[in-house]
């Protein structure tokens, strides 16, 4: 069974709702949002977004995975920095080449768009993801430090003048 990967569009709304709902359930965000809430979010926020794109993976016409990404500037040599935000496959498709197909699609797209690198992050406690990316041959970037504002700290900082 082959995996087809392509850029998602408006016609993929139902598949994206299904995948985004699966992501919320997988990461056990409490409480997981309802199907209707995810559908509303996909419709109002994600579809038509100009700052983020989605690659969708299908097997036998069924959506089995996605990757969200954006091209950021600047990067060395006036090229783009292709940044993958998330890579996800449904549970029953893991270990069947879906993630690798999505990553190869992103790599080809990065090259086509004159990007000089493809970056992403992974949680340090997600051993399966770390092993997967290591098997792909990706280099771990030890010279970078990842920073974040979130929750109350984000709101507090945003309020400062």
DSSP track, the chain: ---EEEE--GGGHHHHHHHHHHHHHHTTPSSPPPHHHHHHHIIIIITT-SS-EEEEEEETTEEEEEEEEEEES--GGG-EEEEEEEEEE-GGGTTTTHHHHHHHHHHHHHHHTTEEEEE----TT-HHHHHHHHHHTPPP-TT-------HHHHHHHHT--
Torsion, Cα 87 91 96 97, to 10 degrees, reads -10
Integer Cα distance of 97 and 94 in angstroms? 7
Contacts of 10 (CB under 8 A, 6+ apart): 47, 48
User: pLDDT tens digit string along 18-43?
Assistant: 998 898 888 876 676 777 777 766 67
For the record, the structure tokens of 46 come out as 């994600």
> Domain-by-domain residue ranges, the chain?
52-158
For the record, the structure tokens of 159 come out as 């309020």
Taking the model in full, what pTM does it have? 0.86
Q: Lowest mean pLDDT: which of 12-16, 35-39, 49-53, 148-152?
A: 35-39
Integer Cα distance of 94 and 19 in angstroms? 14
User: pLDDT tens digit string along 70-106?
Assistant: 999 888 888 889 999 999 999 999 999 999 999 999 9
CB 66 within 8 A of CB 103: no
| 52-158 under CATH 3.40.630.30, yes or no | yes
Q: Which single residue is written with the structure tokens 């003048």? A: 161
């Amino acid at each position: 069974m082959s995996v087809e990967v392509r850029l998602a569009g408006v016609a993929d709304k139902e598949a994206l709702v299904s995948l985004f709902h699966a992501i919320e359930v997988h990461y056990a965000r409490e409480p997981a949002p309802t199907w209707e809430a995810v559908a509303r979010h996909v419709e109002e926020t994600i579809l038509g977004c100009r700052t983020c794109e989605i690659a969708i993976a299908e097997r036998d016409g069924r959506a089995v995975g996605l990757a969200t990404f954006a091209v950021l500037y600047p990067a060395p040599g006036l090229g783009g920095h292709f940044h993958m935000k998330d890579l996800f496959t449904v549970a029953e498709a893991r270990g069947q080449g879906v993630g690798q197909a999505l990553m190869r699609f992103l790599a080809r797209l990065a090259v086509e768009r004159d990007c000089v690198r493809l970056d992403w992050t992974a949680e340090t406690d997600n051993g399966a993801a770390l092993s997967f990316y290591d098997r792909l041959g990706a280099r771990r970037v030890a010279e970078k430090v990842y920073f974040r504002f979130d929750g109350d700290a984000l709101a507090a900082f945003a309020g400062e003048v």
